[in-house]
């Protein structure tokens, strides 16, 4: 576990091994004090973490239509399903929270969790 380089840059790191909260905290540079951004591609089962902006990893991860994003908070491992990458999928599902950036559809949340939690141990 955690056999992944922690130097992130702006584009993030595509995970090749399982990681945990402590590893996520060790990312450098850490763009946000309380959380780390993540993007999943449910079609390829890939996860990218640590980017400055969710879209930064889209070239590495596949077409933006296939990507979903959010944030993992360090203190309690809480996942916030909010990203501009979520807008198209939320509009297609016809369901979202306060803004189309927030995933509230149970099926979309399950898609995110299936990929994210296969790689990130919270």
Q: What is the pLDDT of residues 27-86, one digit of tens each?
A: 888 889 999 999 999 999 999 999 999 999 988 998 999 999 999 999 999 999 999 999
Domain that holds residue 76: 13-121
What pLDDT does residue 4 have? 61
Cβ atoms within 10 Å, residue 78: 11
Domain count, the chain: 1
Residue 29 domain-assigned (yes or no): yes
| Domain-located, residue 49 | yes
Is residue 27 in a domain?
yes
Can you point out the beta strands (E) in 1-45?
A: 13-14, 19-20, 35-41
**pLDDT band for position 1 (cuts 50, 70, 90):** low
Instruction: Flag whether 111 is in a domain.
Output: yes
0.85 exceeded by pTM = yes
71 domain-assigned: yes
């Amino acid at each position: 576990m955690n056999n992944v380089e922690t130097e992130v840059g702006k584009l993030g790191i595509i995970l090749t091994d399982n990681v945990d909260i402590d590893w996520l905290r060790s990312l450098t540079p850490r763009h946000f004090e309380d959380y780390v951004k993540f993007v999943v591609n449910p079609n390829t089962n890939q996860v990218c973490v640590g980017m400055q902006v969710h879209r930064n990893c889209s070239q590495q991860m596949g077409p933006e239509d296939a990507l979903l994003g959010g944030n993992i908070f360090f203190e309690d491992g809480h996942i916030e399903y909010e990203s501009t990458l979520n807008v198209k999928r939320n509009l297609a599902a016809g369901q979202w929270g306060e803004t189309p950036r927030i995933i509230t559809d149970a099926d979309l949340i399950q898609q995110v969790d299936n990929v994210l939690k296969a790689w990130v141990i919270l």
